[in-house]
Structure 1
Amino acid sequence: MNAINESIAQIRIHTNSDFYIVGGFIRDFLLKRDYNDIDLILSEDALTVAKEFAYNREGSFIILDEANAAARVILKNENLVIDFSRMKGKDIVEDLMERDYTINAMALKVGQDGGVDWDNLIDPTNGKIDMENKCIRMLSEKAFQDDPLRMIRGVRFAAQLDFDIEDITAKSIKKHSKYLMTSGAERISHELFQILKCNGTHYYFNMMDKHLDLLNKIFPEIEPMKQVGQCKYHVVDSWAHSLYTLNVAESIIYADGYFENHLREAYEEHTQRIFSNGHTRIQLIKLAALFHDIGKPSAKWTDETGRIRFKGHEITGMEIVADISDRLKLSNKEKQFLCKIVKEHMWPLTLYKENDVSGRAIYDLFKNFGEDTLDVLLVSLADMIATRKLLHPHEEMGMYKVHIEYLANNYLTRFRELMDLSHVLNGNEVMEHFDIDDGKVVGQILEDVRKAIFFGKIPPEKERAIHYIEKGMFQ
């Protein structure tokens, strides 16, 4: 709070005009939530004040909308982002009435001394009362007409704050849902990934599908999933199964004590890692769980006995997920991850059915998935539980859980440290010691060393690795 107070006081030095703190900062402060950004409304000279402030504080100055006098100042040292905007309308009340939801339509006037008086909160739409009642309420339907993205932002606020969307607001969102895709793909993707951060993503995706009619605008591919999927192994359609799989995945991830401590800690650390574009692995795992069966409608066929089959749904699903990744403007790394999980999510189950957990079988799985191994194991476990629990609600899933834990433990204790062999032997050392300049040959030699260590033929020691290579070369 000190950094914000100091910044506000300094901004006051640069202008004698009225300015106000508005929006999310007020909401989060009253809810005692963390905050590191603040929105300011100035009656005039917003760009000039922002630029002067950025210069004096050695911050980054970014113009967001020159026509509407909107700019951003980033103070990296204070981990603070301040947005400056010119007031819309003749006064602050008119400006607030142009906002999306009542909980974001509150303001505080900054005094001439740079201070604020919380007792004089400007709240023309009773946003504080809605906030206390945990209610997301629109200001008017015009908000969605002016910017359709506000509809999905409402879901994001509900997910982040654990609030409910008020009935009239929900009906209005459903009424205007067809306009959502007029918003930019990057903006939609940003809101989706904010929802994917939250513990109950499956609940809010279900809400967006059944009650708000939003999700099929973003992912039209889910509609065919509602028409297929019921077969010998599934009592619900593919979409219901996929939502349930996401639900199960979240229950595993956020459970306390589902896995033994060492495995739980490994998953917690792994899933919270930044993957790409600021997105964490857990966000992408959730998407993979949701879309693991998205290829079933296009792969559906009936065999000679009349039994419905979906052989090849992994391949068609991978192609569909690639298109979705492009639409969401995901990075190539994120796209490749999702495609890999969708394409190969049946692999752990195949090993289970074939009762094959031999060293060769699990090595091939680990080699294929590398650092994504824990992710595919989690999706596979969630998929199996979501399938079997609906078929046989009282069935214990202990055996498949043990299978997944066995694979995960082998990956963590035997394979993970071998993905990078540089602590044992690196490519340059192989080239120099054996006078080899062919990169492919060097790569194959290192792979042979990796296998030898994994299968216990040699310890992870440089001298033993070199001796092993020499022995192999001159046999």
Structure 2
Amino acid sequence: MVFTNEYIEEISKLTDKDIYLVGGSVRDYFIKKDISDFDIVVEGDAANISESFASLRRIMVIPLDKNNKIFRVVLNIDGKKTTFNFCSMKGKDIHQDLSKRDFTMNALAVKIEDGKIDFEHVIDPYNGVQDIKNSIIREVSGKVFEDNPIRILRAVRFMSQLNFDISNEICDLIKNNSKRIKEIPGEKLSNEIFKILEFKRAYYYFNFMDKHLDILGEIFPEIQPMKEVGRCKYHVVDAWTHSLHTMRVVEKIIYSDGYFKKHLKNAYEKHTSQIIANGHTKMQLMKLAALFHDIGKPKARWVDEAGRVRFRGHEIVGAEIMADISDRLYLSKKEKKYLCKIVKEHMWPLILYKTNDVSGRALYGLFKNFGESTLEIILIGLADIISTRQLLKPHEEMGMYKIHAEYLANNYLTRFKELQNISHIINGDDILKEFNIKDEYIIGDIINSVKKAVFFGEIPLEKDRIIEYIKEQM
């Protein structure tokens, strides 16, 4: 099939040198995916052609890698982000350029002639098209990971993104180069980890990295001690196996069409799709928190006088370890705080269940403490108990605890969520004006007492009635 694109035609007129569409762009065509990222190899200087193209569009060129002469131009086409990546050819011709690429499915090229791309004439020296049809990721060279160890994680990311398998040869090559994971810059490593977390079966690929590739321990050495503890009265498996299972349950619940009622499912989908920082969604971070919710157990383990293994305080220790991991992944302060909060508080929904305390006072205190992380903590608490009980008693119904979790979530959504920020109803300036109170701490106490009164149904969320309530209390 001949593919035409007005922008490609425009680019082809900017040079009399040979240019090619390569890599992921060609791969996407053969997996029947719309091409929104155009990777273009230029015979000659990619900087000049990218600058010329960008100047026509009156936008700036983004230098991605000046040493390797890679430049990006980003356009908004019909409301959709489209990128054009320009790279100078490596080697004497396109075949030599493709020989330096990572996987056969990415070692593809089509020459751009007169602004047209004829995919019938694909340049495919390593049988990449057939590998795409077979859904298999194979290496271009036995030195694929020696040249660039980030490709180890890219292989797993492509597995999760495309639902492909990797060849036995790649498995062996990854194992042989597993120690080179430590050479990967933290930001690049973090980027690949979060891309894997973006897809639905992240738990499967984290388990695969651990059990089949022997690389997860190189990224997160904290998981090895988790494999040696955890078995006790309530757990029949080690803490790491339980944590993987918890992550699996979180994904199963969140992506299921029938687990929660529609209104609750929609609330979770909307909430977890929010971006916290660095383009990372609450969904991605929540999965990571589920994976590491029990990471403090090895350090918190102790045996009581009766010989029972205890892990009291593991959530506090876990939050400290989660902070260290966040720093290694170059996460923002907001992301770090979010993860540590979930790990630290994940036991509370279970504590309320065991004590049978779902009073208004208990719920208000819980929601006030959890804040914006309330829904995530409830869900991970639910997944935690399900993964524990399913392994302990596989046929046990978890209906009562599910009802408990739904009750907490519904109360948060209907009674507390709108109270987290009531500045559009009443704020510090209003209190200053009405009562001539200037002390910020006193103003904060007043607003908190108003929120509590609204939560318990003593007053409606209306400014006039709130002012009246404050006067009565004063």
TM-score band w.r.t. shorter chain? over 0.9
Is the CA contact (8 Å cut-off) linking 2:3 and 2:116 kept in structure 1?
no
Q: After the TM superposition, which of the residue ranges 23-32 and 239-248 deviates more from structure 2? A: 23-32
Gaps of 5+ in 1: none
Q: 1:307-362: per-residue Cα shift (whole Å, max 9, x none)?
A: 11111111111111000000000010000000000011001110111000000000
SS at match of 1:64: strand
1:187 CA displacement: 0.6
1:271 CA displacement: 1.1
Aligned to 2:13: 13
Give the whole-Å Cα distance in 1 for the aligned partners of 2:97 and 2:417.
55
Is the CA contact (8 Å cut-off) linking 1:39 and 1:83 kept in structure 2?
yes
Aligned to 1:124: 125
Gaps of 5+ in 2: none
Aligned to 2:88: 86
Q: 1:384-430: per-residue Cα shift (whole Å, max 9, x none)?
A: 00001111111110111000000000000001111111343222111
> What count of residue pairs does the alignment treat as equivalent?
471
Q: 1:171-227: per-residue Cα shift (whole Å, max 9, x none)?
A: 111111110120111111111111001110010000000011111111000011000
Aligned to 1:301: 302
Is the CA contact (8 Å cut-off) linking 2:360 and 2:456 kept in structure 1?
yes
Give the whole-Å Cα distance in 1 for the aligned partners of 2:234 and 2:35.
47
1:139 CA displacement: 1.1
1:377 CA displacement: 0.5
Is the CA contact (8 Å cut-off) linking 2:105 and 2:128 kept in structure 1?
yes
Aligned to 1:341: 342
SS at match of 2:204: helix
Aligned to 2:317: 316
Is the CA contact (8 Å cut-off) linking 1:21 and 1:109 kept in structure 2?
yes
Give the whole-Å Cα distance in 1 for the aligned partners of 2:184 and 2:272.
30
Aligned to 2:467: 466
Structure 1 runs (4+) deviating above 4 angstroms are none
Is the CA contact (8 Å cut-off) linking 1:50 and 1:73 kept in structure 2?
yes
Which of 98, 101, 105 is the matching residue for 1:99?
101
Aligned to 1:63: 63
Give the whole-Å Cα distance in 1 for the aligned partners of 2:444 and 2:420.
12
Give the whole-Å Cα distance in 2 for the aligned partners of 1:44 and 1:35.
24
Aligned to 2:198: 197
Q: 1:81-112: per-residue Cα shift (whole Å, max 9, x none)?
A: 1111111111101111111101101000011x
Give the residue type in structure 1 aligned to 2:372. E
Give the whole-Å Cα distance in 2 for the aligned partners of 1:295 and 1:36.
43
Give the whole-Å Cα distance in 1 for the aligned partners of 2:26 and 2:370.
45
Alignment of 1:228-267 (within 5 A): 228-267=229-268
SS at match of 1:356: coil
SS at match of 1:60: coil
1:363 CA displacement: 0.3
1:68 CA displacement: 2.5
Aligned CA distance change for structure 1 residues 386 and 6 (closer, same or farther; 3 Å): same
1:69 CA displacement: 1.8
SS at match of 1:81: strand
Give the whole-Å Cα distance in 1 for the aligned partners of 2:30 and 2:431.
62
SS at match of 2:73: strand
Aligned CA distance change for structure 1 residues 34 and 239 (closer, same or farther; 3 Å): farther
Give the whole-Å Cα distance in 2 for the aligned partners of 1:101 and 1:435.
69
Give the whole-Å Cα distance in 2 for the aligned partners of 1:377 and 1:256.
19
Aligned to 1:280: 281
Give the whole-Å Cα distance in 2 for the aligned partners of 1:184 and 1:3.
38
Give the whole-Å Cα distance in 1 for the aligned partners of 2:413 and 2:241.
33
1:272 CA displacement: 1.1
Aligned to 1:440: 441
1:4 CA displacement: 7.8
Give the residue type in structure 2 aligned to 1:208. M
1:3 CA displacement: 12
Give the whole-Å Cα distance in 2 for the aligned partners of 1:357 and 1:375.
18
Give the whole-Å Cα distance in 1 for the aligned partners of 2:304 and 2:131.
56
Give the residue type in structure 1 aligned to 2:266. E
Q: 1:87-142: per-residue Cα shift (whole Å, max 9, x none)?
A: 1111101111111101101000011x111111100000010000000001111221
SS at match of 1:206: helix
Give the whole-Å Cα distance in 2 for the aligned partners of 1:377 and 1:471.
36
Query: What TM-score, normalized by structure 1, do the two folds share?
Result: 0.97
Give the whole-Å Cα distance in 2 for the aligned partners of 1:386 and 1:341.
17
Is the CA contact (8 Å cut-off) linking 1:105 and 1:125 kept in structure 2?
yes
Aligned to 1:39: 39
Aligned CA distance change for structure 1 residues 90 and 196 (closer, same or farther; 3 Å): same
Give the whole-Å Cα distance in 2 for the aligned partners of 1:63 and 1:169.
31
Give the whole-Å Cα distance in 1 for the aligned partners of 2:369 and 2:184.
38
SS at match of 1:422: coil
Give the whole-Å Cα distance in 2 for the aligned partners of 1:442 and 1:471.
16
Is the CA contact (8 Å cut-off) linking 1:58 and 1:75 kept in structure 2?
no
Is the CA contact (8 Å cut-off) linking 2:104 and 2:138 kept in structure 1?
yes
Aligned to 2:51: 51
1:60 CA displacement: 2.5
Give the RMSD, CA atoms, in angstroms.
1.3
Aligned to 2:391: 390
Give the residue type in structure 1 aligned to 2:339. L
Is the CA contact (8 Å cut-off) linking 1:59 and 1:76 kept in structure 2?
no
Tell whether 2:81 aligns with 1:75. Answer: no
SS at match of 1:125: coil
Give the residue type in structure 2 aligned to 1:40. I
1:80 CA displacement: 1.3
Is the CA contact (8 Å cut-off) linking 1:60 and 1:75 kept in structure 2?
no
